[in-house]
Amino acid sequence: MAKQTPRTLSGFMELLPAPQQQMERIMETLRKTYALYGFTPLDTPIIESSEVLLAKGGGETEKQIYRFQKGDADLSLRFDLTVPLAKYVALHYNDLTFPFRRYQIGKVYRGERAQRGRFREFYQADIDVIGDGKLSILNEAEIPAIIYKTFSALGLKRFRIRVNNRKILNGFYAALGLTEKAGDIMRTVDKLEKIGAGKVQEILTGDLAVPPEDAKEIIEFISITGDTQAILTALETRRGRNETFDEGLEELNTVVQYLGDFGVPAENFAVDLTIARGLDYYTGTVYETVLLDHPEIGSVCSGGRYDNLAEYYAEKQLPGVGISIGLTRLFYVLGEQGMLNPELPTAPADVLILPMTEDLSAAIALATELRENGIRVQLHCEEKKFKQKIGYADKWKIPYVIFLGEDEIQAGVVACKDMQTGEQTKLDPKATIYRIKAGLDSQNKGFVIKE
Amino acid sequence: MAKQTPRTLSGFMELLPAPQQQMERIMETLRKTYALYGFTPLDTPIIESSEVLLAKGGGETEKQIYRFQKGDADLSLRFDLTVPLAKYVALHYNDLTFPFRRYQIGKVYRGERAQRGRFREFYQADIDVIGDGKLSILNEAEIPAIIYKTFSALGLKRFRIRVNNRKILNGFYAALGLTEKAGDIMRTVDKLEKIGAGKVQEILTGDLAVPPEDAKEIIEFISITGDTQAILTALETRRGRNETFDEGLEELNTVVQYLGDFGVPAENFAVDLTIARGLDYYTGTVYETVLLDHPEIGSVCSGGRYDNLAEYYAEKQLPGVGISIGLTRLFYVLGEQGMLNPELPTAPADVLILPMTEDLSAAIALATELRENGIRVQLHCEEKKFKQKIGYADKWKIPYVIFLGEDEIQAGVVACKDMQTGEQTKLDPKATIYRIKAGLDSQNKGFVIKE
């Protein structure tokens, strides 16, 4: 029979078992951390009606969408988790109670140009808090605490959560009479790190025709750096010129004040007046998170406060605040950087049992006993040479191998080899279980990411 | 602005938060149980190249497939997890070591006729063991043990795993010289429970032109019932007429023998000579699982032994054995039958903290302390009346509410209300945490399914 060459589409991540185990560990960590902050898990369809999914219309994303007909239906694959959330909240509004806090970890689809490290199918891990009409600033202060906790739980230390407030930016540009140009200016200012202050000023006064004295003030403003307190102090000197600015400064002060109470260390947090995020969406605090030793990656967790989640579906005003981790890309980068802790177990089983007798009853009973004690067991009963079976444990990095022969069965003991140390014991099943569990506990210590 | 009516496509399950929590619990139970048996988690793309996915071609499924163009690419959404597994094993053959044991819980897509309880997007939860060339019969005996453990872990008791062996069927029909008609006969016999023995005999001798004496023998054969031992004894009397039959009987004997060692109780297991499953795929032991009080649902976990997983992709002979749970449908049916345990917590948080002071620092510090102790906490700082905030905890069924006013902060205590009993305590944070954890432990006892 002619065979079809098996292949996986370019831009679609498909992991081997060991890295998949690391990915599972990361997802489990995210689920647990998000749950600690009172977020409930959601799962929405990957396919939506195109008219619903694209209600907002236009935008860069639309070209990338996987859209197709099935019968009479015009369908699209979701390209993020925010639009499905907006639909969900509008659709189930009467069944929900607000504030509504949900997390969702799911695959999204964007037909991007195929490129190394770019994915067309990728996981996003999102949290959002949605209010009904109003939403306390406390939620905006809590988000960096969640980012901090999440990244810490994954094992990262050298990261920084950068925070800004859109009201400060909008107010600042309004005070200069530059509201109409604010979008273009912010897009330019966003490139500060890449192109430098001189070039930014050039574009401002040239392409954007900003008066030189305003450009100077803009450069001064975005050059406000230093520790959080220094930046807040510098902002204070600008108070009183614009109401929105003052409001944003109040909010930023509140966010900073509560961060200490939330236990976020000063070194993991910075106010950064250059970040703006999605220009027509965010309206208050905005977030980016960078790995200090890998700034080239860009932000690995971003988001912010928005005023109207479901404006395309409902009359209700539903403000919210949320963040998103591009999990597939983050995982890819961590792998490339060698930051996935190789010491954590990735084996499919904790113990491989090699029965040395014709009758497998004793081996099966032992496997059952171990499993009842929470130990992951595989019975290896294939017709293979002893050496091949040991090789099997080696290749899968199964940490313990148990040999069960007639002698052991008679004596009521179990021969168990620690594959890392080579140490072999002959103990009764209970003592063997105790030893294995202690060993597994020590192997499972440590974080999934290693800096 | 004109609003787009939000809707979710028909045939796509989208759960409210409380049932979603139950679904998550079920998935978590499956992941844990499968892992105990040494299966490694896999995650493959939802989109595959159509030529790869449909290499087998034809079949009833093809009409239902979500297939579309994106640029030059002819793409399809996966309709099961078996074909992607075949592709995965063929593609990554050199990176894998066999037997390869994987589980996968993922969404699959079939454009079925929209109908109550039928889904177009649904989760399958699969396990498979793949051998390279050969695969021990032990694996076929282990599968019912895994089904038993899985359903028990979910809380089911009144279920039965029905087992048959295709070699017994094939050998039996070969001995009668009916190999060519075997497929049609088995399809007819499969309806025995529905239409009765008389009608089956009628179709056999009529439509299928089976000689009357053979039809009689077929009816006799499929009427072999009773306990496992009785059926095995009846089969023994037919030994020696056909080699394949004898081989199948050996295998069935072995499977039955080991089931006891695996700890599967007799009442959860039955040999059933009428089941055949996929006619052109399975070659050895086959499985079905029925809920005894809901036979109308049909099998909730099915599978079997096959000889060649990746025949469309690779020259290698890769025999395997696996089972699949149609999770979305099962969840739907359990809900319809009122079998989802309402006593297990479904709240997004364990504790709702209501700060009663202007400054939130103390409340935030308390929330942080609780979370560090693994307690899921939500801070409620919205501008709402006290009664509304209590109502919020009620609606989300959050089990504990903490009030933190100036008095409590001064006294170093926490006022904590158990929302179920109404009991309120004023204890220091440590004692409060202890009380909450004990309460949560007792609430989290019990299984997700209640019979």
A57 and A173 assigned to the same domain: yes
Least Cα separation, residue A46 to chain B (angstroms) = 8
A15, A49, A138: residue with CB nearest B360: A138
Range of the domain at A231: 17-193+226-336
pLDDT at position B1 over 80: no
* Extended strands (E) in B224-310: 269-271, 282-291, 302-306
Asked whether the beta carbons of B179 and B249 are under 8 A apart, the reply is no
A284 and A239 assigned to the same domain: yes
pLDDT at B238: 95
Q: Which of B26, B38, B297, B346 is nearest to A380 (CA)?
A: B38
A68, A121, A135: residue with CB nearest B68: A68
Q: Do A24 and B6 touch (CB under 8 A)?
A: no
B4, B20, B349: residue with CB nearest A52: B4
Q: Do B90 and A6 touch (CB under 8 A)?
A: yes
- Of residues A1 and B204, the one with the higher pLDDT is B204
Using pLDDT thresholds of 50, 70 and 90, give the confidence band for residue B189.
confident
Contacts B110 to A, Cβ<8 Å: none
A310 and A363 assigned to the same domain: no
Contacts A265 to B, Cβ<8 Å: none
Average pLDDT rounded to a whole number, residues A131-150: 97
Q: Which residues pair with B147 in a beta bridge?
A: none
Least Cα separation, residue B413 to chain A (angstroms) = 18
pLDDT at B53: 94
Instruction: Give the mean pLDDT of chain A.
Output: 94
List C-alpha distances in Å: B9 to A47, A56, A102, A413. 8, 18, 21, 59
Q: Do A20 and B41 touch (CB under 8 A)?
A: yes
A187 and A307 assigned to the same domain: yes
Contacts A136 to B, Cβ<8 Å: 381-383
The reply to whether A178 falls in a domain is yes
A95, A364, A396: residue with CB nearest B262: A364
Least Cα separation, residue B14 to chain A (angstroms) = 5
A243 and A272 assigned to the same domain: yes
Q: Do A36 and B310 touch (CB under 8 A)?
A: no
pLDDT at position B280 over 80: no
Helix locations, B65-125, DSSP H:
82-91
Least Cα separation, residue A41 to chain B (angstroms) = 7
Q: Which of A364, A370, A372, A398 to mutate to test the interface with B (most CBs of B within 10 A)?
A: A364
CATH code of residue B422 = 3.40.50.800
Q: Which of B12, B29, B36 to mutate to test the interface with A (most CBs of A within 10 A)?
A: B36
pLDDT in tens, B347-363: 999 999 999 999 999 99
Q: Do A4 and B51 touch (CB under 8 A)?
A: yes
A140 and A250 assigned to the same domain: yes
The reply to whether B408 falls in a domain is yes
pLDDT at A60: 67
Q: Which residues pair with A354 in a beta bridge?
A: A403
A40 and A124 assigned to the same domain: yes
The reply to whether B274 falls in a domain is no
Average pLDDT rounded to a whole number, residues B409-416: 97
Between A and B, how many residue pairs show a Cβ–Cβ distance under 8 A? 258
pLDDT at B406: 97
A175 and A269 assigned to the same domain: yes
Rounded to whole angstroms, how far apart are CA atoms B347 and B392?
11
A20, A95, A262: residue with CB nearest B16: A95
The reply to whether A429 falls in a domain is yes
Contacts B383 to A, Cβ<8 Å: 134, 136
Choose one of A336, A371, A392: the last residue of a domain: A336
A161 and A62 assigned to the same domain: yes
State the Cα angle at B135 between B130 and B138, rounded to 5°.
105
A14, A258, A368: residue with CB nearest B88: A14
Phi, psi angle pair for A84, to nearest 5°: -60, -35
pLDDT at A436: 97
Contacts B312 to A, Cβ<8 Å: 1, 3-4
Q: Which of A1, A5, A22, A143 to mutate to test the interface with B (most CBs of B within 10 A)?
A: A5
The reply to whether B363 falls in a domain is yes
B35, B66, B97: residue with CB nearest A376: B35
Neighbouring CB atoms inside 10 A of B192's CB total 17
Q: Do A66 and B66 touch (CB under 8 A)?
A: no
pLDDT at A63: 82
A318 and A231 assigned to the same domain: yes
Rounded to whole angstroms, how far apart are CA atoms A142 and A259?
7
pLDDT at position B228 over 80: yes
Choose one of A313, A336, A359: the last residue of a domain: A336
The reply to whether A7 falls in a domain is no
Instruction: Give the mean pLDDT of chain B.
Output: 94
The identity of residue A212, as a single letter, is P
Q: Do A368 and B261 touch (CB under 8 A)?
A: yes
pLDDT at position B59 over 70: no
pLDDT at A451: 87
pLDDT at position A144 over 70: yes
* Number of structural domains chain B divides into: 1
Least Cα separation, residue B90 to chain A (angstroms) = 7
**Quick one: B450 exposed, middle or buried, by C-beta within 10 A (0-12, 13-18, 19+)?**
middle
Q: Do B4 and A379 touch (CB under 8 A)?
A: no
Asked whether the beta carbons of B308 and B108 are under 8 A apart, the reply is no
A86, A261, A378: residue with CB nearest B365: A261
The reply to whether A213 falls in a domain is no
Asked whether the beta carbons of B305 and B282 are under 8 A apart, the reply is yes
pLDDT in tens, A315-335: 999 999 999 999 999 999 999
pLDDT at B62: 78
Average pLDDT rounded to a whole number, residues A32-45: 98
HEC assignment per residue over chain A: CCCCCCCCCCCECCCCHHHHHHHHHHHHHHHHHHHHCCCEECCCCCEEEHHHHCCCCCCCHHHHCCEEEECCEEEEECCCCHHHHHHHHHHCHHHCCCCEEEEEEEEEECCCCCCCCCCCEEEEEEEEEECCCCCCCHHHHHHHHHHHHHHHHHCCCCEEEEEEEHHHHHHHHHHCCCHHHHHHHHHHHCCHHHHHHHHHHHHHHCCCCCCHHHHHHHHHHHCCCCCHHHHHHHHHCCCCCCHHHHHHHHHHHHHHHHHHHCCCCHHHEEECCCCCCCCCCEEEEEEEEEECCCHHHCCCEEEEEECCCCCCCCCCCCCEEEEEEEHHHHHHHHHHCCCECCCCCCCCCCEEEEECCCCCHHHHHHHHHHHHCCCCEEECCCCCCHHHHHHHHHHHCCCEEEEECHHHHHHCCEEEEECCCCCEEEECHHHHHHHHHHHHHHHCCCCCECC
pLDDT in tens, B61-96: 778 999 999 989 999 999 999 999 999 999 999 999
CATH code of residue A138 = 3.30.930.10
A269 and A387 assigned to the same domain: no
pLDDT at position B208 over 70: yes
pLDDT in tens, A79-134: 999 999 999 999 999 999 999 999 999 999 999 887 888 899 999 999 999 999 99
The reply to whether B103 falls in a domain is no
A145 and A176 assigned to the same domain: yes
Contacts A40 to B, Cβ<8 Å: 17, 20-21, 347-348
pLDDT at A346: 96
Closest Cα in chain A to B46: A121
Q: Do B3 and A371 touch (CB under 8 A)?
A: no
Least Cα separation, residue B296 to chain A (angstroms) = 28
Least Cα separation, residue A58 to chain B (angstroms) = 15
Q: Which residue has the tokens 């006969």?
A: B185
